[in-house]
Amino acid sequence: MRQALVAANWKMNGTKAQVAELLAGFKAGINAQACQVAIFSPAVFLSDVQQALQGSAIAWGGQNVHSAESGAYTGETSLGMLKEFGCQYVLVGHSERRTLFGESDEVVAEKVAAALSAGVTPMLCIGETLEERESGVTAEVCRRQLKAVLDKVGVAGFNKLVVAYEPVWAIGTGKTASPEQAQEVHADLRAFLQDADAEMAKKIQILYGGSVKAASAAELFAMPDIDGGLVGGASLQIEEFVGICNAAAQ
């Protein structure tokens, strides 16, 4: 039985005061025994997040990482740095990283491999654009994105990571994929992984992301292959995010 996981991706939002307020609200409102919860904060707030969440059942992580251990990579963050701030997770290959910052499948695979070697759980984000969906290549694109990482880290790596399917057209647009649309892709991804290893495919958590709200979460999470959500905008509102976690706990 797969446990539900709900993750907050704050993206480039927030102030120290907002971070403190959000985390206090999450700690008070979320039953983190009933579902797994992870907060992806901007790197500069990780120390605040660590102080606030340490000792709670809520985990946290960085939104991006460099695959090198250290060196001349101005502006980047290493896995060692994330670990020093208690990060259990790291987001890798978010569509904003892929489209706005040019991260290729290969770069994403490198980052996943580095995170796994460092003992940090990668949350591997994949998903098709609207154009790709409309040309009928959704499954092909998502499978290609998974395969690039599978080729690099193998089944052993996939035993230790989380996948987040985020259709690009549903991110920040208010257009959630319907539970059936999302389920169709999740089932296809699990079928693809099953060809590599049936046990791993059964065990791996595949989250849905893209305009998830408290009102839409329960229906999405009721789908057999959707194991939780990766939440952007709604994770910046206490009531919304708590509501989404409650939906996952059901």
Q: Compute the distance between CA of residue 138 and CA of residue 194 in angstroms, rounded to an integer.
A: 18
Active site residue 186: no
CA 79 from chain centre, in angstroms, equals 17
Q: Is residue 10 annotated as involved in ligand binding?
A: yes
CA 208 from chain centre, in angstroms, equals 8
What is the number of the residue whose Cβ is closest to ligand 13P? 232
Task: Go through 130-153 and write b for each residue having 16 or more CB atoms within 10 A of its CB, e for each that does not.
Answer: eebbeeeebeebbbebbebbbebb
The number of residues that bind ligand 13P (CB under 6 A) is 14
Which of 14, 210, 228, 243 binds ligand 13P (CB under 6 A)? It is 210
Active site residue 94: yes
209 is an interface residue for ligand 13P by CB under 6 A? yes
216 is an interface residue for ligand 13P by CB under 6 A? no
Nearer to ligand 13P by Cβ, of 142 and 200: the residue is 142
64 is an interface residue for ligand 13P by CB under 6 A? no
Which residue has tokens 């001349």?
72
Q: Residue 234: what are its φ and ψ, rounded to 5°?
A: -70, -10
E strands present in the chain: 5-9, 36-41, 59-62, 89-92, 121-126, 162-165, 206-209, 228-231
Q: Is residue 83 annotated as involved in ligand binding?
A: no
Binding mask 163-202 for ligand 13P (x = CB under 6 A): ---x----xx------------------------------
Closest distance to ligand 13P from the beta carbon of 72 (Å): 29
Nearer to ligand 13P by Cβ, of 200 and 226: the residue is 226
Amino acid at 12: M
Q: Which stretch binds ligand 13P (CB under 6 A): 13-21, 70-78, 114-122, 207-215?
A: 207-215
35 is an interface residue for ligand 13P by CB under 6 A? no
Q: Compute the distance between CA of residue 101 and CA of residue 116 in angstroms, rounded to an integer.
A: 22
Closest distance to ligand 13P from the beta carbon of 229 (Å): 8
Q: Is residue 9 annotated as involved in ligand binding?
A: yes
Closest distance to ligand 13P from the beta carbon of 209 (Å): 4
Amino acid at 25: G
CA angle (175 as vertex; 173, 176 as ends), nearest 5: 120
Catalytic residue list: 94, 166
Q: Which residues bind ligand 13P (CB under 6 A)?
A: 9, 94, 166, 171-172, 209-212, 230-234
